[in-house]
Structure 1
């Protein structure tokens, strides 16, 4: 079913919960559903095919120069290459210690060199490693950054190369709220680092991070130079934020739109039962946001760091939990399910990567 939320100006919202499961559902007083295409002037999404099935807890997804893709299996620590409808193992990230929300998480392919970057949980922290990718194999794992707070929950994990060539990283508070406001902690931040794991030139205060006050950032996407981040809330609101370096996004003082002095409000918020957001991607004037507990794909019209229309919801309940969304080389979206992660209801063929066309 294609769902469509029509929100009032004061309640543009929809949310996620304290973790990927969330609290008891909170009904939205302004939601409605449709079974047909989106209305005139809105995007239309169609699941064109299943790219591959039988992947275990897929998390990170990144495209290679040859237009094939690498996908990370959270619990096994394996990285697989997806091509011609098959997923073949190309290596394992060493040191992965999986938990309810930790393990092998984000992947990013270096646009300038034959390297792949992986964000993963160990028994003591979250860290980022660089691996060589040559002749269809990963090798030479080297840690470039360690010491990101780790726990069974709130590990963040998304990696994204920016148009400036630096690596952007979404982290979580590691289950310890003060980390998000602690300037000396890497928890609850958006990092901007070099490929050697150093602070990128121009970062505020020459720190590794550019924003703080986040609870659990699991989605990063660029529209030109504008970065957007999806973030788990606690019990009330999940968020989509437009990232401005040097800003404070409020957690734990603020959850959702609070209007607190010195803190930046999200440009959109969602109720727990309708989101629990993870990966995001930008295409055709929209942020596309995969939702776990909400079991749907949101399309949010944005421009210049602002929301410019009402979000639409697609595929509500059709494929279960949705974890990651990336723009493929052909302009379609690849969307991963996350039904084998211990919190979903596994279906025959799960987990899978779906190819979604944008109309």
Structure 2
């Protein structure tokens, strides 16, 4: 995988002081932060009050910035859509966080295919990420990340003839709380399942090698540690606060992470790396801990899902109510992020690259934190041009 910069010494006292002053906030960036909501990104190497920061690699693209257009509304009336995954027939499955229902979208029609058992919804918990087995339909399974009564779990569920059956928990014991549950699932090009978890509102989990909280997990489809994981553990990386976005650019994995009350992050993920939480939030320069390649004030982002397409990571933002497009190549940021649809559709939760080259983008206005609009929540189809 591509490399990532490692923090050097410095600013630890400042970061730790800021964390001590903060009583804590939700993973939607509930605390008030500096900087206007529509601020332009900055490329200075140290934090400022105007959007993204960090060094930028020279651009490898001569095609210029992207343009995004809302081509159509795919579906309306979805109850807190969270996970979204495409099937080989180009239909899609969407998870409703609070109802625990999974619905299939095909040909403009939305139909329920079943309900995931034992889901216990909360402020940010419930039925979260979805992934389709890369061997589907020969291996007719989907995978769901969900909050149960005492923990977060990953289940393998048979999906055939547009119906769910035979739910089997393959991994449990992921720390759970009303907030900071993580929840995103993504199969990698290596065939293994990656899962972003949160610290479960218990910060030490993120640095505890024996905890599944505050980690990116890498597991087999049976829930075992994937070969090549650090020390044979279930986790791939540690030191995360709350990972709800995972996307691959070829073999390179990227992750979006909620900050406490100052900086949200986009990280390049490499095996065994420590991403710093709770000692670090954003670019912090701490020895042995990796810095993000981009960061945002929580008022401008509070990121959930991400997707890769046409040389960009697209990042859906909840509190920021916009879709960010971040140019990347070889594990580096190659230019300035662009913001799209600011305040047009409300809170944005999930973005996925569709088989036809478009993006599907979900709103999250019915999750109890947004102002609902007629038709919410909806899924939008976004086309990309230059």
Deviations along 1:257-309, one digit per CA (max 9) or x if unpaired, are 00100000000000011000000000000000000000000000001111110
* Counterpart for residue 94 of structure 2: 71
Deviations along 1:77-97, one digit per CA (max 9) or x if unpaired, are 000001122211001000000
CA distance in 2, matches of 1:32, 1:128: 38
The structure where strand makes up a greater share of residues is: 1
Deviations along 1:231-269, one digit per CA (max 9) or x if unpaired, are 000010000000010100000000000010000000000
CA distance in 1, matches of 2:80, 2:28: 13
Structure 2 counterpart of 1:331, from 351, 357, 368: 357
Contact 1:273 1:293 in 2 (8 A): yes
Contact 1:290 1:298 in 2 (8 A): yes
* Counterpart for residue 64 of structure 2: 41
Structure 1 counterpart of 2:31, from 23, 27, 32: 23
* Counterpart for residue 344 of structure 1: 370
* Counterpart for residue 12 of structure 1: none
* Counterpart for residue 16 of structure 2: none
Q: Name the Cα RMSD after superposition.
A: 1.5
CA distance in 2, matches of 1:30, 1:77: 34
* Counterpart for residue 171 of structure 2: 145
Change (3 A) 1:86 1:264: same
For residue 29 of structure 1, report the CA deviation from its aligned partner: 10
Are residue 168 (structure 1) and residue 194 (structure 2) matched? yes
CA distance in 2, matches of 1:281, 1:93: 25
Aligned-partner SS, 1:205? helix
CA distance in 2, matches of 1:52, 1:166: 30
Deviations along 1:189-240, one digit per CA (max 9) or x if unpaired, are 0000000000001111000001000000000000011000000000100000
Contact 1:103 1:121 in 2 (8 A): yes
Q: After TM superposition, where is structure 1 displaced by more than 3 Å over at least 4 residues in a row?
A: none
Change (3 A) 1:136 1:45: same
Count residues in correspondence: 338
Change (3 A) 1:146 1:29: closer
Aligned-partner SS, 1:22? coil
Structure 1 counterpart of 2:212, from 145, 166, 186: 186
For residue 30 of structure 1, report the CA deviation from its aligned partner: 9.1
CA distance in 1, matches of 2:303, 2:249: 19
For residue 22 of structure 1, report the CA deviation from its aligned partner: 1.7
Contact 1:28 1:271 in 2 (8 A): no
* Counterpart for residue 242 of structure 2: 216
* Counterpart for residue 198 of structure 1: 224
* Counterpart for residue 290 of structure 2: 264
Aligned-partner SS, 2:122? coil
CA distance in 2, matches of 1:29, 1:316: 9
For residue 31 of structure 1, report the CA deviation from its aligned partner: 2.5
Deviations along 1:101-135, one digit per CA (max 9) or x if unpaired, are 00000000001121000000011000000001101
CA distance in 2, matches of 1:31, 1:111: 40
Q: Structure 1: where are the runs of 5+ without partners? A: 1-16, 34-39
* Counterpart for residue 311 of structure 2: 285
